[in-house]
């Protein structure tokens, strides 16, 4: 029987099933968690949608469980070994977030370059101004560094090697970099970007989740710091 609540569940309103971790042993720390697959319409489950800044195409919910009974086959994996499933999933989740940020930055950089070429100021292309060229150069550099960090982490992970530090660094750098690239792109577009041209304002809103979701920047820094023996 499950009892408890969790906030910020991606697709929690529309989901048919939940995969959740619950404490199944009062004592035991990491060894007291188990994973379950739960049918979302079971008695005792309540869902509440949450309003948010971005990701409007994907709902986010608060889930409450009040003495939810589960069948014996709801257990996922070994009992009391759920913590290890969580840790295994984190690496792949963070890599996916880094790869997604790279894709977003590529699109934003292409939009910024196209805007700099097509937009004219006093008869000159916007991109002919040194300040604009330098901004776009910084965007391109953030993208290149993000690719180098992420692809190295992905290679290590795919080879089955310990890649916790590299994956964490990739997630930490790419998420904040993507927000800054989106912000620079919006600034280049000016009022047109702020009012929705080419989806720039949506990109900025959606990408702002990156430094929070999948482990905040602060948690990423803590993991990297500890991996350095501090």
- Using left for φ > 0, alpha for ψ between -120 and 50, and beta otherwise, residue 36 falls in beta
- Please tell me which residue in 62, 78, 93, 166 is annotated as part of the active site: 93
Q: Give the Å distances, CA to CA, from 203 to 57, 121, 190, 207.
A: 12, 25, 15, 6
Query: Is 69 designated active site?
Result: no
Give the integer Cα–Cα distance in Å for 162 and 150: 14
Phi, psi of 120 (to 5 degrees): -115, 140
Name beta bridge partners: 124: 121
Q: Which residues are catalytic, by number? A: 93
């Amino acid at each position: 029987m499950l009892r408890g609540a969790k906030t910020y569940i991606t697709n929690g309103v529309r989901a048919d099933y939940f995969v959740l971790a619950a404490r199944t042993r009062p004592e035991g720390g990491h060894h007291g968690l188990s994973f379950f697959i739960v049918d979302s319409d079971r008695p005792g489950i309540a869902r509440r949608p949450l309003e948010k800044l971005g990701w409007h195409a994907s709902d986010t919910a608060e889930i409450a469980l009040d003495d939810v009974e589960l069948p014996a086959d709801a257990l996922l994996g070994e009992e009391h070994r759920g913590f290890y499933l969580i840790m295994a999933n984190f690496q792949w989740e963070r890599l996916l977030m880094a790869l997604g940020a790279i894709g977003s930055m590529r699109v934003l950089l292409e939009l910024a370059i196209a805007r700099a070429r097509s937009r004219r100021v006093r008869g000159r292309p916007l991109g002919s101004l040194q300040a604009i060229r330098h901004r776009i150069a910084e965007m391109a550099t953030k993208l290149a560094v993000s690719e180098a960090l992420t692809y190295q982490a992905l290679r290590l992970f795919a080879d089955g090697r310990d890649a916790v530090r590299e994956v964490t660094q990739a997630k930490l750098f790419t998420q904040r970099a993507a927000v800054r690239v989106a912000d620079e792109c919006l600034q280049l577009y000016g009022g047109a970007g702020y009012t929705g041209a080419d989806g720039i304002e949506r990109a900025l809103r959606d990408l702002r989740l990156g430094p929070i979701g999948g482990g905040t920047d602060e948690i990423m820094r803590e993991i990297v710091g500890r991996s350095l023996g501090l």
